[in-house]
Amino acid sequence: MARRRRIYEGKAKVLFEGPEPGTLVQYFKDDASAFNNKKKGVITGKGVLNNRISEYLMLRLKEVGIPTHFVRRLNMREQLVHEVEIIPIEVVVRNIAAGSITQRFRLKEGEPLPRSIVEFYFKADDLDDPLVAEEHIAAFGWASPQELDEMMHLSLRANDFLSGLFLAVGIRLIDFKLEFGRWWNQDEMRLVVADEISPDNCRLWDIATNEIMDKDRFRRDLGSVEEAYQEVARRLGILPEGGGPGDLPGPSAVQ
């Protein structure tokens, strides 16, 4: 079999040339990294779980009219996506104080924020992805003011929708990160959600116990990382009660 052309390799994923023009294959690795690659490890099975979880969440977003790059899942570790021009900005939406915002503004972890807060970070590993203002984005031309408005609007809509979706399965969406890309379809350009949405780029806490169910388990050496990701997938109805990936029974409501 001919080897596929590797387009890009990131910390947790590899992008290969897709089977049709304008498509890519996104391969999910088990590799984990934190603190801008200063901490590295492997979470066995993470790639399979994130492929499934991201597929599920991207499909749900599409149903409520939030466009994404996702086309279809190909196998356990791969999904077909539209090739997009990635905007070099990470959009973080926060509902509850956790992570970097607690240090920046002397907040207590777990403190509800007065309202959902949208932040922008410039994607640049050598600079540790600095927090930037809208002014920087517009002045340096990373995104137009219209694109920025749309990214903010789509991120807040995704936050409302995903908060409800997770709440229904007993999980609080503390914060999450989205990336956006420009998808060219003929002569028309659309902004779409790209990359992945998974416990690697969300903070997810159990409603009843505040137990951490996301990558903070890896960042803080809390153990049972794969089990936490598996529990997120199980509650979303992506894993059967028994464990391994199987048919989709649908989400299980929590009282």
Which parts of this chain interact with ligand TMP (CB under 6 A)?
92, 99-101, 129, 175-177, 201-203
CB 35 within 8 A of CB 215: no
User: In degrees rounded to 5, what are phi and psi of residue 131?
Assistant: -65, 135
Contact 92, 174 (CB under 8 A): no
| Closest CB to ligand TMP among residues 25, 97 | 97
Collapsed DSSP state (helix, strand, coil) of residue 61: helix
The minimum distance between CB 195 and ligand TMP, in angstroms, equals 9
Residue 236 beta carbon to ligand TMP: minimum distance, rounded to whole angstroms: 17
Smaller CB distance to ligand TMP: residue 89 or 101? 101
Specify the residue, 23 or 102, whose C-beta has the smaller distance to ligand TMP: 102
Residue 240 CB, shortest distance to ligand TMP, in Å, is 27
At closest approach, how far in Å is the CB of 204 from ligand TMP? Answer: 9
SS3 29: coil
Cα–Cα distance measured from residue 103 to residue 100, given in angstroms and rounded to the nearest whole number: 6
What's the length of the chain?
Answer: 255
Distance CA 151, CA 212 (A): 28
Q: Between residues 175 and 231, which has the closer beta carbon with respect to ligand TMP?
A: 175
